[in-house]
Amino acid sequence: MKCSEFLNELTNYLDGVLDARTKSELDDHLAWCHNCYVVCDTTRKTIEIYRDSELYELPDDLRTRLRSAIMSKCTASKKSQPPGS
């Protein structure tokens, strides 16, 4: 297996959606190819870091404000357009 072939399967490998044979071919490649090992490992870390980062959490006060704005707009839209049309 070439490095480029490994990379093409990297996403499936990390997501654990490969059949057993392909997976073991990739495992074999990782065992001797240090570059792909590092790429695979740091890509996994990239995903984990973003997943755990809690970027863009919605602050509670803003959340409340948005929700009441949404609900009052929804109610207003219902009044202007009777249901069952």
Q: Which is nearer to Zn ion, 24 or 68 (CB)?
A: 24
Among 4, 19, 61, 79, binds another protein (CB under 8 A): 4
Our finding on whether 74 is near another protein (CB under 8 A) is yes
Cα–Cα distance list, 66 to 12, 27, 60 (Å): 38, 48, 10
What is the Cβ-side half-sphere exposure of residue 54, based on CA atoms within 13 angstroms? 3
Cα separation of 25 and 37, whole Å?
Answer: 13
The entry of another protein, Zn ion, none that residue 53 binds, CB within 5 to 8 Å by partner kind: another protein
In total, the chain counts a number of residues equal to 85
Our finding on whether 75 is near another protein (CB under 8 A) is yes
Q: Which is nearer to Zn ion, 35 or 80 (CB)?
A: 35
